[in-house]
Amino acid sequence: MNGSMYQPVPLSFERLEEEEMNARGRALLDRLARRRSVRDFAPDPVPRELIEIAVAAANTAPSGANRQPWHFVAVSDPDITAEIRTAAEAEEREFYEGGRAAEAWLEALAPLGTGWQKPFLETAPWLVAVFKQIFARAEDGTKGTNYYVNESVGIACGLFIAAVNEMGLATLTHTPQPMRFLSQILGRPDNERPFILFPVGYPHPDCQVPDITKKDLSAVSSWFEK
Ligand SMILES: Cc1cc2nc3c(=O)[nH]c(=O)nc-3n(C[C@H](O)[C@H](O)[C@H](O)COP(=O)(O)O)c2cc1C
């Protein structure tokens, strides 16, 4: 390691009482467990500041070599959201009805009741498109390497979802395939690829969601204790 480049500062960290740790953890878990993917939004506006908070939360994420290989594009302009919906529906129609999706994939999606129509892309007051930076591009145009891009951007998106949920808003992890149209509509550079498209807003008062459950802790974890 190049010692001269490593100039650490003391960690800022508050050690909590065990009771408080437990209470905080349980409170967060309780709210996370209530999160659902929402596909039916109310048109009510959401202040830009709340979206900024969610993006700022995402931007705290750990990332390979601290490269932060992500870019968030927040859109409330109705001309642009209409354009995104039209393009997304064209791709999704191919997926659901044009033979692009394998039969097994469509079967896996059947309990979710999803289809090619995506009215929420215009109803939700915000669309937040997340791009991953497959390589870095400095202002002078030189290329740099990013590390663990998918893991890093995935973690950032998880924090974004958690923040949205924590603030009392809802979102959907939407991945219309392929998503290249987002790069074009939003004018993103050649080092970026669309990763996830998040509509964000309040759920419609009549919103319904698939009746699904989560696996038990015992099914998703193994323990080797001392
Ligand atoms: C990477 C990823 C991609 C997804 N893509 C879509 C999508 O394109 N359309 C959709 O309606 N739901 C999509 N989902 C949402 C899942 O269907 C949803 O998370 C899952 O059914 C569990 O429901 P819950 O989020 O309410 O717990 C996606 C989720 C993830 C994590």
- Ligand 1 close to Cβ of residue 154 (< 6 A): no
Tens of pLDDT, residue by residue over 174-205, are 999 899 999 999 999 999 999 999 999 999 99
Q: What is the pLDDT of residue 4?
A: 82
Q: What is the pLDDT of residue 2?
A: 59
Tens of pLDDT, residue by residue over 2-57, are 568 999 999 999 999 999 999 999 999 999 999 999 999 999 999 999 999 999 99
Which atom of ligand 1 is found nearest the CA of 39?
Answer: 11
Using CA atoms, how far apart are residues 112 and 96, in angstroms rounded to an integer? 13
Helices 48-58, 149-166: inter-axial angle, 10-degree rounding: 140
Higher pLDDT, 112 or 79: 79
Stated pTM of the model: 0.96
Taking the chain, what is the end-to-end CA distance rounded to the nearest angstrom?
34
Mean pLDDT score across all residues of the chain: 96
Question: Residue type at 91?
Answer: E
Higher pLDDT, 102 or 44: 44
Largest distance between two CA atoms of the chain: 60
Residue whose C-alpha is closest to residue 77's, from 205, 203, 187 = 187
| Dist. CA 215 → ligand 1 center (Å) | 16
Q: Whose CA is nearest to atom 31 of ligand 1?
A: 173
Q: Residue 1 pLDDT more than 60?
A: no
Helices 149-166, 18-34: inter-axial angle, 10-degree rounding: 90
Q: Which helix (H) or strand (E) holds 151?
A: helix 149-166
Using CA atoms, how far apart are residues 163 and 35, in angstroms rounded to an integer? 11
Residue whose C-alpha is closest to residue 121's, from 188, 176, 52 = 176
Average pLDDT of the residues in 211-222? 97
Q: What is the pLDDT of residue 139?
A: 87
What residues does 201 pair with on adjacent strands?
A: 170
Taking a C-beta distance cutoff of 8 angstroms, is the pair 105, 99 a contact? no
Question: Which sign does the torsion angle of CA 89, 92, 97, 99 carry?
Answer: positive
Q: Whose CA is nearest to atom 27 of ligand 1?
A: 36
The phi, psi pair for 57, rounded to 5°, reads: -65, -45
**Ramachandran region, residue 197 (left: φ > 0; alpha: ψ -120 to 50; beta: rest):** beta
- Ligand 1 close to Cβ of residue 173 (< 6 A): yes
